[in-house]
Amino acid sequence: MAQITLNALSKEVEDITAAYTAAGGNAAVLHNHDLASLVISGNKVLSANGTEGIVLEKKETEHGVDVKLTIKKGYKIPLPVHLCFGLVPKDGLQEINMNFVAEEDSAVELIAHCTFPNAEKVIHKMDAEMLIGKNASLKYTETHFHGPHGGIQVLPKAHITIEEGGSYYTNFSLISGRVGYLEFDYSVDAEKDSICEMVTKVYGKADDKIKILEKISLNGENARSVIKSRLAITDNAESMFRGVTEGHAPRARGHVDCMEVIQGNAKAEAVPIVRVDNPLAKVTHEAAIGCVDKKEVETLMARGLEEDDAIDIIVKGMLA
């Protein structure tokens, strides 16, 4: 894979690097050629670095970048692949089309930071098709940093197929800055002996709107899954969670777990849905919406914390 070095786009590089750091990323990893990485600002690929076992293809489009990332058969990538997607200006549209393939018996961890520090009128769309091959493994962590304005729409949509014996773990986190409008839409087809765990953690404030749509179809025997959602909303924020798990095969096991904490005038709705059409499958769910647990708050107050500090610690713990 050819390597594009950081170049004349230095100001943009500098800005996106600063935003990446603010989002919790370690900028040094983007310059370390022993690590695979990809940095996209708007519709520009600022840097791309592949390592052995990784094929990274990218094509700049009018409003974003088409990316194809393939982990070759049998390769266990020892160090995480770092992705940085962002838009530094206060307005704009970014469309990322991602095609990810983890070939048979491969394993990789992707760490993505999405940064929109100045967003006032920004749309970030991601459309992803992901294939986790037979006995392959993908761990995908996506952390967002949005700045204080709330003028952003984040629209990630993904379809994931996990083949026999494969495993997929994803953790989506948007707890720094304003959410703006989030519509998170992931669906998974899980085949025989596969494992899927999807975790979303979002903290909505002011008039943020959060929509989480997750669906896992346990199509294969012994497929197992967990959907875990942790949302905290305050002020006038609104959230809607819909987590669907379908058990279609013998010994498929799934669980949907949603916990939402609301404060102020926030409004929350949680709809866990379980569908089972195989008598040997089992899918369970739990959902809870409420204020911060009184006993937890009083326990921390009894250790000397003010009520607001106690609530802050509890909410941050839930979203950690």
Report if residue 232 touches another protein, rule: CB under 8 A: no
Least CB distance to another protein at residue 177 (A): 20
Among positions 137, 289, 303, 311, the unique one binding another protein when judged by CB under 8 A: 303
Least CB distance to another protein at residue 291 (A): 12
Report if residue 226 touches another protein, rule: CB under 8 A: no
Report if residue 300 touches another protein, rule: CB under 8 A: yes
> What residues have CB less than 8 Å from 123, skipping those under 6 apart?
92, 93, 94, 152, 153, 155
Distances from the Cα of 26 to the Cα of 22, 23, 29, 30, 243, angstroms: 9, 9, 6, 8, 33
For residue 109 the two structure tokens come to 């961890």
When the beta carbons of 11 and 303 are compared against another protein, the nearer one is: 303
- What is the rounded CA–CA span in Å between residue 49 and residue 6? 11
The C-alpha angle with vertex 111 and arms to 106 and 18, in degrees rounded to 5, equals 150
Name the one range near another protein by CB under 8 A: 160-168, 204-212, 245-253, 308-316.
308-316
Residue at 291: amino acid letter:
C
Name the one range near another protein by CB under 8 A: 7-15, 57-65, 183-191, 295-303.
295-303
When the beta carbons of 94 and 143 are compared against another protein, the nearer one is: 143
Report if residue 11 touches another protein, rule: CB under 8 A: no
When the beta carbons of 279 and 304 are compared against another protein, the nearer one is: 304
When the beta carbons of 194 and 200 are compared against another protein, the nearer one is: 200
Name the one range near another protein by CB under 8 A: 8-16, 59-67, 134-142, 297-305.
297-305
Least CB distance to another protein at residue 285 (A): 16
Report if residue 306 touches another protein, rule: CB under 8 A: yes
- What is the rounded CA–CA span in Å between residue 276 and residue 12? 50
Report if residue 286 touches another protein, rule: CB under 8 A: no
Least CB distance to another protein at residue 258 (A): 13
Name the one range near another protein by CB under 8 A: 39-47, 142-150, 240-248, 293-301.
293-301
Least CB distance to another protein at residue 32 (A): 27
Query: Per-residue string for binding with another protein, 245-264, x by CB under 8 A?
Result: --------------x-----
Report if residue 296 touches another protein, rule: CB under 8 A: yes
Least CB distance to another protein at residue 231 (A): 13
